[in-house]
Amino acid sequence: QTVFIPRELDANEPRVAASPDTVKRLAGLGLDVVVETGAGTRSRIPDEEFAKAGAVIGKAGDVAKADVVLKVRRPGEAELKGYKSGTTVIAIMDPYGNDAAVAALAKAGVTAFSMEFMPRITRAQSMDVLSSQANLAGYQAVIDGASEYDRALPMMMTAAGTVPAAKVFIMGVGVAGLQAIATARRLGAVVTATDVRPAAKEQVASLGAKFLAVEDEEFKAAETAGGYAKEMSKEYQAKQAALTAEHIAKQDIVITTALIPGRPAPKLVSAAMVDSMKPGSVLVDLAVERGGNVEGAVPGQVVTTANNVKIVGHLNVPGRVAASASLLYARNLYAFVETLVDKTTKTLAINRDDDLVKATMLTDGGKIVHPAFAKAAE
Ligand code: NAD
């Protein structure tokens, strides 16, 4: 059976769904691997490296022969025309609010898996694309913030005088936020952080940053069984805003990462808070593609306010470290594919009762099968 790795068509997607390492591993499972020419270029993996690892270098049309397609982004309707019915497609499907695109996957007859729905259980840790990509996004957010900031981050005591350490505030300390704290600390900043989940408090402290939050009864119950944050009440949000407003006014760089699964991102920084910051301060909004945490953030742009505060809203932040992001993403996909292949027959044998399959399968046999989307489509 054949695995095909296409070149991503989205101009804003430099990542690729395989690496030389995973090509070798996929071949080891008994699969024939075909990589579209140029698929790895923007992740600094030339065709020759894929070929050396055992892949055949092909063209876009080879998708028609594929039993499995590994991608970064969901294939669009035009792209799907090249797929044969029954093909297994594994990608970040981003189905929320994209009903027509999900319907198109079903109509094409492909078995589509949404990697971002992988349950956060021990067995699936190596398949957790949200974590692998958020970790790099958290790192890159600090790098982007530092490069827009026109002062140094570490305290520097020199013969010519002292440069004070920058104050960095991280809002939302899941995977991205924790890496942002670690990165800002490595650069010598004085770091504070906030979150609505009590578990975050200890993690922030263990990284040497100070935790700041409204720790009321609602805070104590803000973590879902899945480990994510709940959407907080209007009352809590007001208390949180009152607490953080004064703090934000004193910060040099604010990095926001707050997300709620399946919901728009919470608004954490108002226009008034942005205006309260000193000229030259920087906000980096990692949630900008999901509605944004910062008022005035524009997807894909660096906005400079009248008061000379910059609001950074880069799209696809993991893609800004594409070479690293692709290596980790490719390994996440491989770890999942390995569970779908029968080791003796060396063919695809999807166990539809497996919890990982049940959690991630979006379409199958011409239908939308994921419980969160099947009903809405009826
Ligand atoms: P996420 O991307 O969904 O959200 C980012 C952060 O924003 C979260 O920490 C969340 O609590 C926070 N947030 C949401 N609303 C907020 C608000 N109003 N104000 C401030 N902060 C707010 O989260 P994530 O990075 O996916 O991580 C969620 C949890 O899952 C973390 O505890 C993480 O450590 C855990 N996790 C577990 C595993 C595993 O067990 N395999 C893997 C990865 C992550």
Residue nearest (by alpha carbon) to ligand 1 atom 16:
258
Mean pLDDT of 106-125: 96
Instruction: Give strand pairing partners of 2.
Output: 32
Specify the pTM.
0.95
List, in order, residues 6 or more apart from 340 with CB less than 8 Å away.
Answer: 88, 348, 349, 350, 357
CB of residue 174 inside a 6 A radius of ligand 1: yes
Q: What's the CA gap between 161 and 320, in Å, rounded?
A: 35
- How far, in Å, from the CA of 62 to the mean position of ligand 1? 39
* Region 131-150 average pLDDT: 98
Compute, in angstroms, the gap from residue 95 CA to the centroid of ligand 1: 20
Q: Compute the distance from residue 204 Cα to the ligand 1 centre, in Å.
A: 13
Q: Which DSSP string do the residues of 276-289 spell out, in sequence order? A: HSPTT-EEEETTGG
Nearest CA to 211 among 227, 231, 191?
Answer: 191
Q: Give Cα 112 to chain centroid, integer Å.
A: 19
pLDDT band at 1 (very low <50, low <70, confident <90, very high): very high
Are the CB atoms for 137 and 153 separated by under 8 Å?
no
**What are the strands, taking DSSP E only, across the chain?**
2-5, 32-36, 56-58, 68-73, 88-92, 111-114, 156-158, 161-163, 167-171, 190-194, 210-211, 253-256, 282-285, 302-304, 310-312, 341-342, 347-348, 361-364, 367-368
231-263: buried (b, 16+ CB within 10 Å) or exposed (e) per residue?
ebeeebbebbbeebeebbeebbbbbbbbbbeee
pLDDT at 374 over 90: no
Q: pLDDT per residue over 212-227, tens digit each?
A: 999 999 999 999 988 8
Rounded Cα distance between 40 and 50, Å, is 8
The pLDDT tens digits of the residues spanning 55-80 come to 999 999 999 999 999 999 999 999 99
- Give the mean pLDDT of the chain: 96
User: Is 341 close to ligand 1, i.e. is its CB under 6 Å away?
Assistant: no
Which residue among the candidates 19, 131, 132, 240 is catalytic per the annotation?
131
Per the annotation, the verdict on 73 as an active-site residue is no
Residue 377 has pLDDT above 80, yes or no: no
Nearest CA, atom 11, ligand 1: 229
